[in-house]
Structure 1
Amino acid sequence: MAKNNQSPTYTTIFLLFKDAILGKQQDFTSGSLRKAVFMLSIPMILEMLMESIFALVDIIYVSRVSVNAVATVGLTESVLTLVYAVAIGLSMAATAMIARRVGEKDIKKANETAVQVVYLGILISIIISVIGILFPKEILELMGGKPDLIEEGYRYTQIMLGGNITVMLLFLINAVFRGAGNASIAMWTLILSNGLNLILDPLFIFGLGPIPALGVEGAAIATTTGRGVAVLVQLIILFKGKGKIQLGIKYLIFKIQLLLDIIKVSLGGIGQFIIGTSSWVFLMRIISEFGSEVLAGYTIAIRIMLFTLMPAWGMSNAAATLVGQNLGAQQPDRAEKSVWITGKYCALFMGIVSIVYLLFATTFLSWFSDNPNVISNGSLCLRVMSAGYIAYAYGMVVIQSFNGSGDTFTPTLINFICFWLFQLPFAYIMAIHLNYGPQGVFWSITIAEVLIAILGIWLFRKGKWKSVKV
């Protein structure tokens, strides 16, 4: 009897899962909040998992090339995080504004916003491409790369930065889909790009038939190609698809005031991520002082962490969409309740992951390297950072909820205090002056994330985000 009573529940969950990945529900301003969180979170979690698989696949193959190749990826990714900062900042504005317009049932304005967001992304990526194509060696040298590393890896840096438009548009167009409630479309485009990357990576890195072995440079070609194809599919869906956002020729004009509104909302988002990612760049610079083996261990550990941080990020994106749409529908209490529900689920997930990392960190690192120093430093990094995972969970959900409301200033202030005023000085003093080495950097990251969660929850409870206009 118990089995019969349980079966409808499992059937219901399966059907909801199916509807979620197919994108059956796009309006989340009414009905069950738990269902809304589930329906949005599932495709967003899968989307973010696809993004983290990019990182894992690259590092699995690149680690078979050389330690310098892994370190090159780490240094280049540190610089690319500045590109991500701009892309994510703009995507916050896109999600917040489009979710608000969808909540207000103003689809025409949502379409206009989507076009202007894409224009901004293209203009910014062109500037970054020029710098990346012309100065790859100088960038790696500035990041602390040694001459042999620079000579082996500069082409990777050149291609990744030169082709940053694929990163920029992939982020921005998926943000448009998420804001409209079409999270499943964002998920499927990343599945496509990951599938291509998985096939192309070994072909270009190790060579096959007429394709020469390009080493770490091949990883950049594979990743950029996979993302580029996904962007083309995104654009086709925007113009030819059946989602809420349907673009046409009439929308393809510059709307200066709307462009300025997007920039205004995105500045806070760009600012908060530039603060966070520039802090990450400086931390990488400190780590590079301890040699390529420590740098490689740190890089691998971060890639492994991303595999589980990205699903949590997906849940926090779900909270942002729920906040935006429900504020647009004049339901602030429903918006707030959705944040606490999402935060609880996210903390449960991250707590389980934390235990797994604490127990099996060395095993995970050994999958990527057989160098004892790389494994030792990487596993230490993984254990220290995972100790703060539950705080990460609530911090991410609350910060993204601010952004979903259009209040990008508060997270910027929180990041400034926790990253620049605390994390960087603490890491430098602990690692260099007090001779704690890389461990000092690892602890600075964990403690800073705990502070972000505490400040974020305190300010969120004050409720000023409910009155933000976008």
Structure 2
Amino acid sequence: MTFKKIISAIKLSLSGHEQDYTEGSIRKAVFLLAIPMILELSLESVFALVDIFFVSKLGPNAIASVGLTESVITLVYSMAIGLSVAATAVVARRVGEKNPKAAGHAGAQSILVAVVLSILVTIAGTIFAPHVLALMGASKEVIAEGSIFARIMFGGSVVIMLIFLINGIYRGAGNAAMAMKSLWIASAVNIILCPILIHFFGLKGAAIATVTGRTSGVLYQCYHLYKGNGIIKFTLLDFNFDPSVIKSIISIAWPATLQFIIASGSWIVVTRLVAETDGTNASAGYQLAMRNVVFFILPAWGLSNAAATLVGQNLGAKKFDRAEQSVNLTAKYNAFFMGFVMLIFLLFSKWIIRFFTIEPEVVKYGSLALKIMGSAYIFYGLGMVMSQALNGAGDTKTPTWINFICFWLIQIPLAYILANVFNLRSTGAFMSIPIAEGLLALAAWYYFRRGKWKEVKV
């Protein structure tokens, strides 16, 4: 591909025009989908980095408050991502079948499910926020300072749910650029408001800025779902309760949700283990390391989402070989990217953590965590592509079982044994992460190669 063609393809990928990804060059299809998806999820990670950059100036207690809250909020993310996976799979399959009306109806039904779930989470989270922090091993000072932050974040559960879900709908339709633009808006609002509101309101200002930013992104999404001219366009009739469609969405969504809850649950256990074994400084350092891990994982996740869309649409068009070729090519690109990031983490971990804080103990733990977790980064990328390919086909149960075995049956016991039995403390907890991720990548690759995902009906 010449430089001129590359520039032309980038412009096309960012234009917001839907493409038929069941025809033409697979490399171009991956490129057109991946560019806006990478930018979309890179901007999602900007939320995390902007918050922690400004919050870190408030001290270790504030960093720990944000980190511990975010560890639990990932359960909300898990539900949102689970529904998003289901929406992408169903919408992509209907688009591949050339049935945009059914695709739009399925998207609207998934939103109904998301709203009901988010109301329940908001009520529980706002009531029990201090207890959640205590359960995570937070000190009394962290609970006192962080409870209001946690309540506001849980109160914004509905916009977390919707921004992930609606972007999943757009991705399924092949319009990754619209998903990207919604996060551009959300991130821009957050970046502007975060330092201002932290200056006036302290830690809770960070939460207000984040929720406000996400809300602006959701409003932009909803406007285009009703007024846009793309493949997916909602009407009020699409929101009429449809038990058969909701059942189909839930049957795909619940294993996908459980899949990410399993992963998030293991993160919560490791987070608590770090806090218990080495205290607030270790917890703060670990949170800074995790924010950077997430920052570089999300672009790779964007490539993985491209694979999910390509699998869904090509299965809908009965082009099984094309679906498989798309995944293999995406995995190759992701391996190159994650290998490069792995080298950055191994060589420059201390400088990366020092960008956020100069507290010596926090830097020590953060740089160590970043090195250890980054040592298997290439496996993270391969595992994500293979898992998302299975999810995009509607086979959400297989990755869920893989996650359960690798994270709960291997990572959590291993983290405890290394930290307490071998007395490696937080270092042992860090070490359990790349081991589990490496095993997950190998298992997901094996099941993808078996090819049973081609037989899944959605």
TM-score range, shorter chain: over 0.9
- Aligned match for 1:107, one of 92, 100, 112: 100
- Aligned match for 1:272, one of 235, 253, 259: 259
**Would you say 1:435 and 2:428 are equivalent positions?**
no
Query: How big is each residue's C-alpha offset from its partner over 1:203-238, in whole Å with a ceiling of 9 and x where there is no partner?
Result: 1101xxxxxx21111000000000011111111110
- Aligned match for 1:383, one of 363, 371, 375: 371
| 8 A contact 2:18–2:173 mirrored in 1 | no
Aligned counterparts of 2:86 and 2:396: Cα–Cα separation in 1: 9
Aligned counterparts of 2:4 and 2:19: Cα–Cα separation in 1: 22
Counterpart of 1:39 in structure 2 is 32
SS of the aligned residue for 1:64 comes to helix
Counterpart of 2:127 in structure 1 is 134
Aligned counterparts of 1:148 and 1:265: Cα–Cα separation in 2: 42
- Aligned match for 1:355, one of 338, 343, 363: 343
**Would you say 1:371 and 2:363 are equivalent positions?**
no
| 8 A contact 2:173–2:231 mirrored in 1 | yes
Counterpart of 1:71 in structure 2 is 64
Aligned counterparts of 1:23 and 1:111: Cα–Cα separation in 2: 17
Aligned-residue offset at 1:25: 4.2
Aligned counterparts of 1:241 and 1:204: Cα–Cα separation in 2: 33
Aligned counterparts of 2:121 and 2:239: Cα–Cα separation in 1: 24
TM-score (norm 2): 0.99
Aligned residues: 457
**Would you say 1:59 and 2:52 are equivalent positions?**
yes
Question: Structure 1, unaligned stretches of length 5 or more?
Answer: 1-7, 207-212
Counterpart of 1:95 in structure 2 is 88
Query: How big is each residue's C-alpha offset from its partner over 1:37-93, in whole Å with a ceiling of 9 and x where there is no partner?
Result: 000000000000000000000000000011100000110001001101111111110
| 8 A contact 1:99–1:325 mirrored in 2 | yes
**Would you say 1:172 and 2:165 are equivalent positions?**
yes
- Aligned match for 1:406, one of 390, 394, 397: 394
Aligned counterparts of 2:354 and 2:141: Cα–Cα separation in 1: 25
**CA root-mean-square deviation:** 0.8
Aligned counterparts of 2:385 and 2:238: Cα–Cα separation in 1: 33
Q: Percent identity?
A: 49
Counterpart of 1:343 in structure 2 is 331
| 8 A contact 1:189–1:230 mirrored in 2 | yes
Aligned counterparts of 1:115 and 1:23: Cα–Cα separation in 2: 20
| 8 A contact 1:25–1:39 mirrored in 2 | no
User: Superposed, which structure 2 residues align to 1:57-456 within 5 Å?
Assistant: 57-206=50-199, 213-289=200-276, 290-456=278-444
SS of the aligned residue for 1:254 comes to coil
| 8 A contact 1:19–1:25 mirrored in 2 | no
User: Superposed, which structure 2 residues align to 1:2-13 within 5 Å?
Assistant: 9-13=2-6
Which deviates more from structure 2 when the two are superposed, residues 311-320 or residues 146-155? 146-155
| 8 A contact 2:77–2:161 mirrored in 1 | yes
Query: How big is each residue's C-alpha offset from its partner over 1:405-457, in whole Å with a ceiling of 9 and x where there is no partner?
Result: 00001001100110011000000010122111111111101010000111111
Query: How big is each residue's C-alpha offset from its partner over 1:324-346, in whole Å with a ceiling of 9 and x where there is no partner?
Result: 00000000110000001000000
SS of the aligned residue for 2:356 comes to coil
Q: Which amino acid aligns with 2:167?
A: N
Aligned counterparts of 1:146 and 1:75: Cα–Cα separation in 2: 11
Runs of 4 or more, structure 1, over 6 Å off, are: none
Counterpart of 1:3 in structure 2 is none
Query: How big is each residue's C-alpha offset from its partner over 1:115-171, in whole Å with a ceiling of 9 and x where there is no partner?
Result: 111111100000010011111111111111111111111100000011111100000
| 8 A contact 2:18–2:231 mirrored in 1 | no
Query: How big is each residue's C-alpha offset from its partner over 1:242-296, in whole Å with a ceiling of 9 and x where there is no partner?
Result: 1110111221211011111111111110111111111111111101112110000
| 8 A contact 2:266–2:407 mirrored in 1 | yes
Aligned counterparts of 1:233 and 1:25: Cα–Cα separation in 2: 18
SS of the aligned residue for 1:291 comes to helix
| 8 A contact 1:177–1:186 mirrored in 2 | yes
Aligned-residue offset at 1:305: 1.2
Question: Structure 2, unaligned stretches of length 5 or more?
Answer: none
